[in-house]
Every structure is written in C-alpha cells, then in structure tokens.
Amino acid sequence: MSENPRAFAPGFLFGAATAAYQIEGAAFEDGRTASIWDTFSREPGAVLHGDTGDVACDHYHRYPADVAMMRELGLDTYRFSVSWARVRPDGGAVNQKGLDFYKRLVDELRENDILPWLTLYHWDLPQAIEDRGGWTARSTAEQFTEYALSVHDALGDRVQNWTTLNEPWCSSFLSYTAGIHAPGRTSVEDGLLAAHHLLLGHGQTVRALRGRDASLDLGITLNLTVAEPVDAEVPADVDAARRIDGQFNRWFLDPIFRGSYPADIVADLRAVDPDAVVALERATRPGDFEAISTPLDALGVNYYHGELLSGHPRPGGGDPHQTAGQQRATRSPFPSKEGIHWVERGLPRTGMGWEVQPEGLTRLLVHVANDYAGDVPLYVTENGAAYDDDVSAGGEVADVERTEFLRAHVAATLDAIEQGVDVRGYFYWSLMDNYEWAWGYAKRFGIVRVDYETQQRTIKQSGAEYARIIAARSV
C-alpha cells in the first residue's frame, strides 16, 4: 500500500471481466450449439495443446459460488458476455433455456449487490452463421440486432449497462485477415468487410435498444494501444507509428466518433490490396456511417501494452501481436505491415511477452477523451497480465508480478482522472484463469486461480490486493 494513498471518487466502479466461451463450459448443453470457437479450437494446430472451451471453468454450473467469490472480493460490478450460440443456437429461434441461464446469473449478481455489465458479443458467433458468410455478410449485422433484442426481451428489466461488441479489431482483423482467431480466415478483404459489418451491427443495435428504452447505458469496448515512434524526427519511424495507430485505433474510433474511416489508412490499404478496398466501398451503403456513429453513453477501453515502432529493423525488434496465436504467428494481423518494426525498450514483460507500461494507459485515456470521446464517459473494461503462477504446498498463490501490475494500472487510471478525464470504472481482466483463446489453458490472467482438474478456485495475492484497494477505495 502506498504511504500516501489517493482516493477514488464515490461511485467509481471496481469490477472484473470474463467472456462466455472462456469460462462457461457446458458447450453443448441445454440447446447450445457450436460457435466458431468450438469449430476453430478443433482444427489441428489452431489452439495450443488442442484445448477447447467445452468445460473451461464450468461457470455454467458453478455460477452461484463464483458470484459469492465476487462478493468476497468486494466487486462493485461484473462484466460478462452472453453466448449468441446459447441464446439463439445456429442463429435461429430463441433458446429459452439459454436465456434462463443469464436470468439466473443476473439475479444472483443483483442479490449480491453486484452491478451486471453485459457484453452482447465476445467473439462466439454461431458456426451456422459463419457458414453463411459470417461477419463478411451484411445479413450478420441484421441478425446481431435480432439476437440483441432477444437478450433485451429477457434482461432489459434487470440490466442497465449494455456493451455491443468487445474488441472488434480482434473479431475482424485477427479473425478474418490473420487467421489467428476463429474462424481462421486469411484475407484482407474479409477482414475489412468483417470490421464494417461488426460496426454496422453495433450502430444498428444501439439504435434499436435506445428505441426500446432511452434509460439504458449503451456502449462499445475497443482494444486500443499507444503507438509511438522510436524517433519523432525520423519520418519512417513516425510513419510506422501512424500506420499502427490507424489500423489499430483509428479504424474503429473514427467511424464511431467521426463517421468515416481514416483516409490515410484507406490509402495505405488501397496500395496493398486495391480489390479489398473496392469490396469495402461496395459494401458500404448510404446511411451506414450515420448508424455506426450513433451517440454512445459509454466507451470501454481495453489496454494491455503500448508499442514502440520504427520504419527500419533494429536490434531487439519483434512483433508482440504475433505471440497471441503461436502456431499461426507468421501471419500478420495487420493488412498493411511492410516497413513496420516493433522495438523493445527494456521494460518488464508479462507471460504473453507484452511490455508492462502503466503510464501508457494514462496517456491513452487522455488522448481518447480529448480527441474522440468528449463528454462520453470512459471505462477501463479490460486490463490485466498473464504470468506463470507459483503455487505453494498449501495452495496459496503469491503472484507478486500480477499484484504489482494491478496496483500500477489502477494508479494509472487515477492519474488520468486527476488530469481531468471522466473515467468511471476499472475492470480487471480476468476474474479467474480461463480458456485464453489460441493459447488454450496455457496462460493465466486471473486474480483467482482455477485448478482445471478439480475446478477449485483460489483467490491469489493479486485478488487479495484488489479486494483491499476496493475496500479502501484508494491506491
């Protein structure tokens, strides 16, 4: 604990986050059918060790105990996602058993004075919809809104805070261009079309939900980075940072807040794959950007690390984004990457190989608030670190590095608030160890350890520290 603790304002929300496919298990129970991750995880070499989310943390059956654990930690709020494949299997009719699970979960949260924070899409598209084109098809945006309204039919009287999409950069470029995430496609055109239809589905859904209930708090969550040139006086370095900022941040921030894609990145992409840009232009219809830029009540910011960039190869260079899909790491998630080089700066690294840069979170929040969000409140909806846990003979987990990471990033959030940014909440990723996408169960982000053989949960040192921060409401 700091010798001079700084306090958060009353009403600031401390929470933790998870995603349906990563924790629920019960993959084919009570009417749930395959999502793209059920399919992708079974493809040879797609996921480390061939792991699947069939059981994961068995949260579907253990949610009452998990909510009790949240209460023990003192969480104000819990961010979870709803499985489209559970609620509308195969993209078809509503599955009442699937909806009933989320009713029970939300009721359990409310009974424990934990605010439910619902995410409609965290990457688990029904496989049947993918078979009909997935996010490259405009019809998927329409089906997404239909699915969202089905969830609202069941939970609209119980849930105030709704997020449409989690990290559309991942569910478009990582998924349809890089092949690192499900469905594993490797096409620049498919990535661009997927990004557009994800954003269109977001905008249409915000409109539809607001039309039903103007009192809802509606938003989207974007994973963003701080892209810096090694030398601000070297044009090639500046250009490398511009391109990553454009492809990673501005490709989503600009249409949401400014009603268009960034012209410089469109030009970059046209030079790399002109047919892909033509396909995107043909897919963009009048009124699309008006829908995409529908005003928000909240913007979620996911931050894990920044990046130092050069236009020339340098000693110690690497690409942190390629580590996320180990077997497919040679495929770039960026449609336009030639001449971009990642440079190490000697910072500590997490178990994912990502640099630990808390002050980057402060700068990112200031930048997003000043240049985009304006009066829209910000929430840090994901921030966390994977490390290899050292479990004592008695079962305790003294995860010193994660504890320091958590404390430093909560403090960085408060730094942004003290600089005038309207940040209203912080969600640690993740509540508990879980299925970490292409890494399977090999990477642990949780403040709660999960023994996957017994499903025993153990609050780590980082979880105890987070509970202390929440109770003190200071860092």
| CATH code of residue 364 | 3.20.20.80
Mean pLDDT value across the chain: 95
Predicted pLDDT at 318: 54
Predicted pLDDT at 315: 63
Catalytic residue among 108, 130, 167, 189: 167
Res. 326: pLDDT tops 80: no
**DSSP-assigned states of every residue in 152-167:** HHHHTTT--EEEEEE-
Predicted pLDDT at 218: 99
Res. 457: pLDDT tops 50: yes
Tell whether 337 is covered by a domain. no
Tell whether 339 is covered by a domain. no
Split at pLDDT 50, 70, 90, the class of 335 is confident
Predicted pLDDT at 455: 98
Predicted pLDDT at 436: 97
Tell whether 345 is covered by a domain. no
The candidate with the shortest Cα–Cα distance to 302, out of 262, 252, 230, is 252
Predicted pLDDT at 2: 56
Tell whether 134 is covered by a domain. yes
Tell whether 296 is covered by a domain. yes
* Interatomic CA distance for residues 123 and 129, integer angstroms: 13
Tell whether 331 is covered by a domain. no
To the query of whether residue 167 is one of the catalytic residues in this protein, the response is yes
- For the chain, the residue count is 475
Predicted pLDDT at 338: 81
Q: Are 345 and 355 in contact (CB under 8 A)?
A: yes
Residues 264-281 have pLDDT tens digits of: 999 999 999 999 999 999
For the chain, helix, strand, coil in percent to 5 are 45, 15, 40
To the query of whether residue 418 is one of the catalytic residues in this protein, the response is no
Segment 156-168 shows an average pLDDT of: 98
Q: Are 324 and 337 in contact (CB under 8 A)?
A: no
Res. 234: pLDDT tops 60: yes
Residues 78-106 have pLDDT tens digits of: 999 999 999 999 999 999 999 999 999 99
Residue range(s) defining the domain that contains residue 91: 13-225+238-305+350-472
Residues 388-404 have pLDDT tens digits of: 999 999 999 999 999 99
Q: How many percent of the chain have pLDDT more than 90?
A: 92
E strand or H helix at 406: helix 400-418
Higher pLDDT, 315 or 189: 189
What is the count of structural domains for the chain?
1
State phi, psi for 278 to the nearest 5 degrees: -60, -40
Catalytic residue among 24, 108, 130, 382: 382
Predicted pLDDT at 339: 85
Tell whether 232 is covered by a domain. no
Residues 37-48 have pLDDT tens digits of: 999 999 999 999
Q: How many percent of the chain have pLDDT more than 70?
A: 95
Tell whether 344 is covered by a domain. no
